[in-house]
Amino acid sequence: MTDRYAVIGNPIAQSKSPLIHGMYAEVTGQDIEYTKIEGPLGGFKAAVDAFRAAGGRGLNITAPFKLDAFAYATEHSERARLAGAVNAMKFEGDRVMAENFDGVGLVRDVVHNLGCALAGKRVLVLGAGGATRGALLPFLAEKPAALFIANRTVAKAGELAAAVAGQGAVGFGDYADLEGRQFDIVFNATSASLRAELPPVPASVFASSELAYELAYGKGLTPFLRLAQNAGVKQLADGVGMLAEQAAEAFEWWRGMRPDTRAVIEKLTVPLV
């Protein structure tokens, strides 16, 4: 019997997950069916219950249901607990296991695909939302020299720093605190680029930057990436590699084998122009 998987979100028409997992199934020889589910707002539990009752083995979760998935799960990984959000679940009887692969997918893209080590580097993260929360443990595991979170609401950044206090030192502040500071790698984890806006980051932070990474994908040369390019940053990237790598992590978790991600990244990459 073909094993069933899906991605659930609202809206969901734009999701690339069926394409990605279909390609992964093909290269690994796995017999799976992967579909999209547009979950009704306020109806996440009922939609997932129905999917499980029909034989569903696992789900990817996207906006706005990552918090609902956290509440639905019976078992959480450390990454999911820290993030307080879930982007993948698998079902075994009454067990609902939850994971968050966003951060580990991001790190794998940066370190393995882009060849940019985080170890010993000064890392700046713009924004203190769910994407940043999910990335902190994977970032700290790479042993950066410094990790700083800048956010309009400083208290929110401070909460994230406190949540990982036992794993490593994380600095935080507002955007004004970035004046006079320089970083080797800068991540834009704000939602500004989705609106074609620029977070209030001074161009001086890029003075010695090796990489500027936009977590949004498929948006071309966003205002953030353009600012970094004009500042002379050597390498620019968007989140397409992160998307492919977090999907590969979920696929391996479900199926026990990790697919090669290169073909997916090549297919989904939009030129940064």
Give residue-wise pLDDT tens across range 28-76. 999 999 999 999 999 999 999 999 999 999 999 998 999 899 999 999 9
What is the per-residue pLDDT for 73? 98
Residue 230 among known ligand-binding residues: no
What is the per-residue pLDDT for 123? 98
Task: List the domain range (segments joined by +) for residue 28.
Answer: 3-100
- Residue 112 inside a domain? The answer is yes
Q: Where are the alpha helices (DSSP H) in the chain?
A: 17-28, 44-53, 66-72, 78-83, 102-108, 130-141, 154-163, 223-230, 240-255, 262-268
Beta-bridge partners for 33: 4
- Report whether pLDDT(7) > 90: yes
- Residue 170 inside a domain? The answer is yes
What is the per-residue pLDDT for 166? 85
Q: Which residues contact 178 (CB under 8 A, 6 or more apart)?
A: 124, 150, 201, 202, 204, 205
Cβ atoms of 198 and 174 within 8 Å: the answer is no
Say whether both 36 and 108 belong to one domain: no
- Residue 260 inside a domain? The answer is no
What is the per-residue pLDDT for 208? 85
As a whole number of angstroms, the distance between CA 116 and CA 12 comes to 32
66 is catalytic: yes
Residue 57 among known ligand-binding residues: no
As a whole number of angstroms, the distance between CA 265 and CA 238 comes to 11
What does the pLDDT look like over 159-214, one tens digit per residue? 999 989 888 889 999 999 999 999 999 999 999 988 999 999 999 999 889 999 99
Say whether both 131 and 232 belong to one domain: yes
Say whether both 51 and 109 belong to one domain: no
Catalytic choice (36, 66, 121, 267):
66
- CATH at 66: 3.40.50.10860
The structural domain count of the chain equals 2
Among 48, 78, 100, give the residue marking a domain's end.
100
Cβ atoms of 105 and 159 within 8 Å: the answer is no
What is the per-residue pLDDT for 194? 86
Say whether both 74 and 109 belong to one domain: no
Residue 182 among known ligand-binding residues: no
Half-sphere exposure of 43 (CA within 13 A, CB side): 10
Half-sphere exposure of 12 (CA within 13 A, CB side): 19
As a whole number of angstroms, the distance between CA 84 and CA 15 comes to 22
Say whether both 222 and 93 belong to one domain: no
Say whether both 133 and 226 belong to one domain: yes
- Residue 86 inside a domain? The answer is yes
What is the per-residue pLDDT for 57? 98
Q: Please report, in angstroms and rounded to a whole number, the separation of the first and last CA atoms in the chain.
A: 45
What does the pLDDT look like over 225-253, one tens digit per residue? 999 999 999 999 999 999 999 999 999 99
Say whether both 85 and 9 belong to one domain: yes
Residue 28 among known ligand-binding residues: no
What is the per-residue pLDDT for 70? 96
- Residue 266 inside a domain? The answer is no
Residue 152 among known ligand-binding residues: yes
Among 76, 100, 124, give the residue marking a domain's end.
100
Say whether both 7 and 130 belong to one domain: no
What is the per-residue pLDDT for 82? 84
What does the pLDDT look like over 114-139, one tens digit per residue? 999 999 999 999 999 888 988 999 99
What is the per-residue pLDDT for 130? 82
The b-or-e profile of 61-71 (16+ CB within 10 A means b, else e) is bbeebbbbbbe
- CATH at 122: 3.40.50.720
- Residue 133 inside a domain? The answer is yes
| CB-count exposure of residue 162 (10 Å: 0-12, 13-18, 19+) | exposed
Could you tell me the two tokens for 250? 């979920």
Say whether both 118 and 107 belong to one domain: yes
Say whether both 172 and 188 belong to one domain: yes
What is the per-residue pLDDT for 83? 84
- Residue 195 inside a domain? The answer is yes
- Residue 121 inside a domain? The answer is yes
Residue 246 among known ligand-binding residues: yes
Q: What is the mean pLDDT of residues 67-88?
A: 93
Among 66, 100, 134, give the residue marking a domain's end.
100
Residue 17 among known ligand-binding residues: yes
Which amino acid makes up residue 112? Answer: H
Q: What single DSSP character describes residue 221?
A: S
Say whether both 39 and 66 belong to one domain: yes
For residue 144, report the phi and psi dihedrals to the nearest 5 degrees: -70, 155
Say whether both 43 and 110 belong to one domain: no
Residue 16 among known ligand-binding residues: yes
Which amino acid makes up residue 267? Answer: K
